[in-house]
Amino acid sequence: MIVNKQRFHLNFSVSFLLVLCSVNLDALDNTNLHALHSLADRKEIIDSNQVNACLQLAKHYLYDSTEIAAKYAKKGIRVASEISHGAGKGKCQNLLALAHEIQGYMVEALIIYEEAYQTMAEAGKIEDAAGIITNMGVAHYYSGNRGEALKYYLRALQYTRENSLQHHESKLLNNIAVIYRELKQFDDAIRMYNQSSQLKLELSDSLGYAQTRENLGLAYSYLDQGDLAIEYLNEAISWYKSLGQEADAIQAQLSLSNIYIKLHRIEDAQQILDWLVDESQTRLLPHYKAAAYLMQARLLMIKQENIPALEALDTGYRLIEGSDRNELLAQYLALFAAIYEELEEYQVALRYTQKRIMLLDTLNQKDRLETEREMKAKLDLQEKEAQIIVQEQKLLQQTRERQWFFSLLAISFLLLALLALFAYFKARSNKQLREKNLIIDKSLKEKEILLKEIHHRVKNNLQVVSSLLSLQARSLKGQEALEALAKGKDRVRSMALIHQNLYQGENLSAVNSKEYIDRLCKSLLQTYNVGSGRIKLHTDVQALMLDIDTVIPLGLILNELITNAIKYAFKPDARGEISISLARHEETLELIVADNGVGMSMEDLGDQQTMGFRLVKSFVQKLKGTYNITIEQGTKVSFRFSSFRMASVV
């Protein structure tokens, strides 16, 4: 695991975890490189040493020739998979993802990072797995997507806490704090820095603790809480000095001086700067002392002491003149020009401004030349690689062409034989299939005829039962018994109509709900000799093909309700209307029977123990339904059934 510490403006310290799964990033000499190539390029799979060779080569070429790095990473993954070397596979996947990231293929990189994480987690390498999640966050951070970076950091934080990886957790908290700081959520950043400080203290990570306290001081400076910023920076300076980290202590002191200047505590800032530029500070590196002189000159300029400011600038400038500290030199030249402009020596100010412009142009030119050299080197390497690949492709193409010729010749003969064999078996199969289809069609027709006959006979038998009930009724005198037999006849007739619909229709297992309900209504009106136009029936029935097991209870419910409406809903010789609707609503079937008659009395509504009510409730339960009775300008009964079956349409 590699931890890169980056310094921002005003020495804002931040640690990022860029994890290469413990791969050594030292350069390889030619001897080692040749040995690694010999091992990695072997066609036969050997052992984990071959995986490690691929890993080292992928790392070596990562920044100089990313495509070659990706090639060796892929081979390492393949070899590691063959020998079940989980940790090696995960490391190669991590490098392959990093190669894609460098090439700008962020989506592919994140997919491979996820695969690497899964591989490491399955191999029990929990610290490496946590590092790979962090890598995904770092990738998003450097691509400018702070939101996604924060998401992966928080995911890594949860993983490290679940697996008690406190050292890793302490650094992740610092990374999360950086995101919050850049999003100007300073309170959240400070909270994360405090958690990181506590963990580093528990882990005896003294240097990390000092760096986090310094970051805390700088965070408070952004909030303009100068006292707290000074307190934390002083604490960080004390820790740096006790650890012998003089360079870190000096940078923190420079940051402290800058805060003192912002707070107009000129004397405190001057005290620190005087100490830093004291001639006795022989251990202070030239560029640090030059930075102190630069800040001292700015302080003197604020106090309008321009001549002493120029003296400080002269002293500091000589310390770095001719060095490669070009950014610091540019700041010196800018301040020289500003002071001479204040002194109204415009020619001198112009000369320093021109020197600064030339320096910046030189810097830009150097950057361009360096970039051009890098691009040329990469281009030369790519051209050589391309030439080698072209030669290899030519040889491979020639070999393939010969192989293809002989292969195609053999395949042609084989195909002719197969086609002849296929034609023979196809013809025989088609003949057998036609014979079987004829037998099946004949059998189906016989079964259809038999089933129609069964439904016809059931319908006839039900009519016989209805006739027997009529004969029985003639021999009875009690009104209650006669009504019971009449109701029984109606119920038998409603079932007989179902079987009539079945044997008269084309589908022997389906009943058309609209046709059936229309027939049932007409039959009941005829049975009770309802005069023409006295009671009108309105139906709004959806034409549904229902299974017989659904139609029978539905028909019996309708029989009870329509009979009850005809007999009791209207006064003698009074006109009225009965409406019936049936519709399917997704997973439920809705049935509504309503009349505009006299309505049920509260006594009738309370008496639900009659045979008719018990039958209706029984059939509602069978269809797993509910019902609701509304008495308003007549009676309305609404049902919703959830257990119903639609017939399969043939």
H or E element in which residue 642 lies: none
Band of pLDDT at residue 95, cut at 50, 70 and 90:
very high
Whether residue 648 is predicted with pLDDT greater than 80 in this model: the reply is no
Which pLDDT value is given to residue 10?
29
Q: Where are the alpha helices (DSSP H) in 263-285?
A: 266-276
Higher-scoring residue by pLDDT: 142, 3: 142
pLDDT digits (tens, 9 = 90+) for 109-123: 889 999 999 999 999
Give the mean model confidence (pLDDT) for residues 550-561. Answer: 86
**pLDDT value at position 547?**
86
**Phi, psi for 638 (deg, rounded to 5):** -115, 135
> What share of the chain in percent tops pLDDT 70?
77
Residues 290, 284: Cα–Cα separation, whole Å: 10
Q: How are beta strands 510-512 and 545-547 bridged, if at all?
A: antiparallel
Mean pLDDT of 628-643: 90
* pLDDT-based confidence at residue 593 (cuts at 50, 70, 90): very high
For residue 445, what are the CA distances in angstroms to 20, 364, 417, 508, 548? 74, 92, 42, 12, 21
Own/partner pairs, 25-31, CB within 8 angstroms, 24+ separation: 25/59, 27/60, 28/56, 28/60
Q: What is the pLDDT of residues 374-419, one digit of tens each?
A: 445 444 545 555 666 677 777 778 888 888 888 888 888 888 888 8
pLDDT computed for residue 491 by the predictor: 63
Of the two residues 44 and 124, the one the predictor is more confident about is 124
Strand, coil or helix: what is 16? strand
C-beta separation of 146 from 179 below 8 A:
yes
**Rounded (10°) CA dihedral 444, 450, 456, 462:** -120
Angle, alpha carbons 132-25-158 (nearest 5°): 20
pLDDT digits (tens, 9 = 90+) for 201-245: 888 989 889 988 988 988 898 888 888 999 999 999 999 889 988
* Share of residues in the chain with pLDDT > 90 (%): 17
pLDDT at 377: 45
Highest-confidence segment of 275-289, 494-508, 589-603: 589-603
- Phi first, then psi, for residue 294 (nearest 5°) are -60, -45
- Predicted pLDDT of residue 641: 93
As a whole number of angstroms, the distance between CA 436 and CA 428 comes to 12
pLDDT (average), residues 281-293: 74
Task: Find the range with the poorest average confidence among 39-43, 224-228, 431-435, 470-474.
Answer: 470-474
Please name the fold of domain 1-163: 1.25.40
Domain spans of the chain?
1-163, 517-641
Interval 489-501: pLDDT, tens: 666 666 666 666 5
- For the segment 279-291, the average pLDDT, to the nearest whole number, is 71
Structure tokens at 526: 């005829």
Pairing of strands 535-541, 545-547: unpaired
What per-residue confidence (pLDDT) applies to 509? 66
Q: What is the mean pLDDT of residues 163-188?
A: 87
pLDDT band at 541 (very low <50, low <70, confident <90, very high): very high
**Residues near 317 by Cβ (< 8 Å), separated by ≥ 6?**
290, 329, 332, 336
Task: Specify the pLDDT at position 23.
Answer: 38
The DSSP code sequence of 291-328 is HHHHHHHHHHHHTT-HHHHHHHHHHHHHHHTTSS-HHH
642 close to 625: Cβ distance less than 8 angstroms: yes
What does the alpha-carbon distance between residue 514 and residue 443 come to, in Å, rounded to a whole number? Answer: 31
Rounded Cα distance between 303 and 267, Å, is 11
Residue 521 has pLDDT above 50, yes or no: yes
Closest CA to 182 of 226, 148, 146: 146
pLDDT at 589 (0 to 100): 93
Neighbouring-strand partners of residue 637: 593, 629
Bridge partners, 339 (sequence order):
none
Instruction: State the average pLDDT for the chain.
Output: 79
Domain covering 517-641, topology: Heat Shock Protein 90 (3.30.565)
Residue 65 DSSP symbol: -
Helix (H, G, I), strand (E, B) or coil at 538: strand
Burial of residue 184 (CB within 10 Å: 0-12, 13-18, 19+) is: exposed
pLDDT of residue 15: 37
